[in-house]
């Protein structure tokens, strides 16, 4: 996996500042396919995932002024937008209730235009923390995140009995949390 | 896993990523909204999720996606700060002084129904919530619930009052997460009725004749 090339935090800030379409294009090219992949992995049909990935990117454009790099890096911000849109979609699709709550649309004030990139740096350190997990723990963490039925996926991919998966998962998460704490 | 009054790390991880079911997400979200400790953990897990998003392969998207997005942008000028439409308010009569958590604030609930002496239930009616048996429970002070286990995981957020389940005491704001390894028999403290918001993955199993009878009658 090559490291990401662009500084997406700056690109999003330039969307906010000057409605810059070229910046948006670069953000789109990197994130739209990944967001679509994220949604499909959570069990969404291809065509719906594609539509919601598109909606996620349009939300990035519309809400760019709310992006606060001192609170979350670009990837984290975009992931939470996609996550909330997916929840909205399922809650709406199931009838009876209409509008859902969307934490990303809560009463946040627009971010100051030149906020620092502290959080983006810490996202980089999160990448380092992930890289310093053992291969088995990294695999467990990825399955916990990416798979709908993580325990059976872990059992299968690591050849572990289902009974031991839970305790291994707990150890892996505990290790990850200690690494994250060390970064603070 | 030291403090039983918070969700497990695995639950918080799945909440952060969005892979936790909608029902449990609403119940756990009600706790996290008022718990600084769990709010911080969720933010950590969101950061990891963001880093992992970058690792996902960039599978095929339609070649005209960007062009369509740019066209949509031209049609619809940015509207920063525009307020989202207010969600419809939920229709459920909450016990006096108890607020319905915001995470289910737009969800319709059935009228309260007495299912056993001293125990009333109001079920979420939205389809997404029914799939996880999301319900409000109101239990009279001093009442002992049936000993029960779980086939999946069950999350209970206490909204008012308190109960003890033999392992720990759970009061307003606390979240009790139990899986199939736990058989518990919650007892509500004297004084105040205990009101909870509950969701489950899988189903509840009751012990003994009374439990099976209860299950046959009430279906949970
Ligand atoms: Zn907590």
Q: At A130, give phi and psi (nearest 5°).
A: -60, -40
Look-up of token digits 């509500």: B188
Report d(CA A64, CA A58) in Å as an integer. 10
Measured between CA atoms, the residue of chain B closest to residue A15 is B78
Q: At A19, give phi and psi (nearest 5°).
A: 45, 45
Report d(CA A132, CA A137) in Å as an integer. 10
Cβ pairs bridging A and B (under 8 Å)? 187
Q: What is the mean pLDDT of residues B26-50?
A: 95
Domain ranges of chain A: 8-96, 114-183
Report d(CA A146, CA A127) in Å as an integer. 16
Q: Please judge whether A144 and B84 are an interchain contact, meaning their C-beta atoms are less than 8 angstroms apart.
A: no
Residue B205 Cα to ligand 1 middle (Å):
27
Residue B117 Cα to ligand 1 middle (Å):
32
Q: Please judge whether B47 and A123 are an interchain contact, meaning their C-beta atoms are less than 8 angstroms apart.
A: yes
Q: Does domain A8-96 have CATH number 2.60.120.200?
A: no
Using alpha carbons, list the distances in angstroms from residue A24 to A12, A71, A105, B47, B138: 7, 21, 20, 22, 51
Report d(CA B20, CA B201) in Å as an integer. 10
Of B19, B51, B59, Cβ closest to residue A126: B51
pTM, rounded to two decimals? 0.84
pLDDT value of residue A120 = 55
Tell me the DSSP string of A79-119: HHHHHHHHHHHHHHHTSS--PPP-GGGSSPPPPPTT---HH
Report d(CA B32, CA B30) in Å as an integer. 6
Per residue of chain A (184 residues), give pLDDT as tens: 445 668 999 999 999 999 999 999 999 999 999 999 999 988 899 999 999 999 999 999 999 999 998 888 999 999 999 999 999 999 887 654 333 333 333 333 444 433 444 455 667 778 888 888 999 999 999 888 887 778 888 999 899 998 899 899 999 999 998 888 877 6
pLDDT single digits (tens) A29-82? 999 999 999 999 888 999 999 999 999 999 999 999 999 988 889 999 999 999
Q: What domains lie within chain B, and their CATH numbers?
A: 9-55 (no CATH), 104-218 (2.60.120.10)
Report d(CA B8, CA B16) in Å as an integer. 12
Q: Please judge whether A75 and B103 are an interchain contact, meaning their C-beta atoms are less than 8 angstroms apart.
A: no
Of B9, B49, B72, Cβ closest to residue A177: B9
Measured between CA atoms, the residue of chain A closest to residue B21 is A87
ipTM for this prediction: 0.84
Q: What is the mean pLDDT of residues B183-205?
A: 85
Q: Are A146 and A39 in contact (CB under 8 A)?
A: no
Residues of chain B with Cβ-Cβ distance to A24 below 8 Å are 69-70, 73
User: Which of the four CATH numbers 1.10.10.10, 3.20.19.10, 1.10.3720.10, 3.90.470.20 does domain A114-183 have?
Assistant: 1.10.10.10
- Give the SS3 label for residue A97: coil
Tell me the DSSP string of B96-150: TT-PPPGGGTT--BPPPEEEETTEEEEEB-SHHHHTTT-EEEEE-TT-BPPPEEE
Residues of chain B with Cβ-Cβ distance to A95 below 8 Å are 126-127
Pick from A175, A130, A176, A169: which is nearest to A150 by CA?
A169
Terminal CA-CA length for chain B: 28
The two tokens of residue B195 are: 């009101």
């Amino acid at each position: 996996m090559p490291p990401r090339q662009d500084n997406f935090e700056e690109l999003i800030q330039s969307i906010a500042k000057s409605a810059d379409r070229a910046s948006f294009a670069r953000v789109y090219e990197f994130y739209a396919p990944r967001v679509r992949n994220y949604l499909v992995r959570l069990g969404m049909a291809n065509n719906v995932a594609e539509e919601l990935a598109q909606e996620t990117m349009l939300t990035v454009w519309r809400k760019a002024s709310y992006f606060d790099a001192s609170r979350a890096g670009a990837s984290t911000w975009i992931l939470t937008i996609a996550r909330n849109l997916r929840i909205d979609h399922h809650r709406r699709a199931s009838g009876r209730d209409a509008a859902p709550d969307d934490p990303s649309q809560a009463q946040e004030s627009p971010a100051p235009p030149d906020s620092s990139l502290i959080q983006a740096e810490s996202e980089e350190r999160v990448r380092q923390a992930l890289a310093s997990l053992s291969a088995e723990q990294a695999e467990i963490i990825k399955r916990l995140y990416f798979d709908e039925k993580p325990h059976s996926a872990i059992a299968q991919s690591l050849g572990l009995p289902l009974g031991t998966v839970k305790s291994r998962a707990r150890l892996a998460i505990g290790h990850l949390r200690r690494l994250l704490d060390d970064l603070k | 896993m030291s403090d039983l009054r918070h969700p497990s790390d695995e639950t918080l991880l799945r909440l952060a990523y969005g892979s936790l079911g909608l029902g449990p997400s609403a119940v756990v979200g009600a706790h996290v909204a008022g718990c600084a400790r769990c709010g911080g953990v969720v933010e950590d897990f969101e950061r990891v999720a963001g880093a992992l998003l970058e690792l996902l392969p960039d599978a095929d998207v339609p070649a005209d996606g960007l062009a369509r997005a740019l066209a949509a942008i031209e049609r619809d000028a940015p509207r920063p700060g525009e307020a989202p439409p207010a969600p419809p308010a939920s229709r459920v009569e909450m016990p006096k002084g108890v607020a319905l958590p915001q995470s289910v604030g737009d969800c319709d609930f059935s009228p309260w129904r007495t299912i056993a002496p001293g125990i009333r239930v109001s079920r979420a009616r939205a389809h997404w919530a029914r799939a996880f048996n999301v319900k409000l429970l109101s239990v009279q002070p001093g009442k002992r619930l049936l000993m029960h286990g779980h086939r999946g995981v069950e999350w209970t957020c206490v909204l008012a009052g308190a109960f003890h389940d033999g392992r720990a005491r759970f009061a307003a704001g606390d979240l009790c997460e139990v899986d199939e390894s736990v058989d518990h028999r919650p007892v509500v403290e004297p004084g105040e009725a205990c009101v909870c918001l509950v969701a489950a993955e899988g189903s509840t199993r009751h012990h003994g004749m009374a439990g099976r009878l209860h299950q046959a009658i009430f279906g949970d």
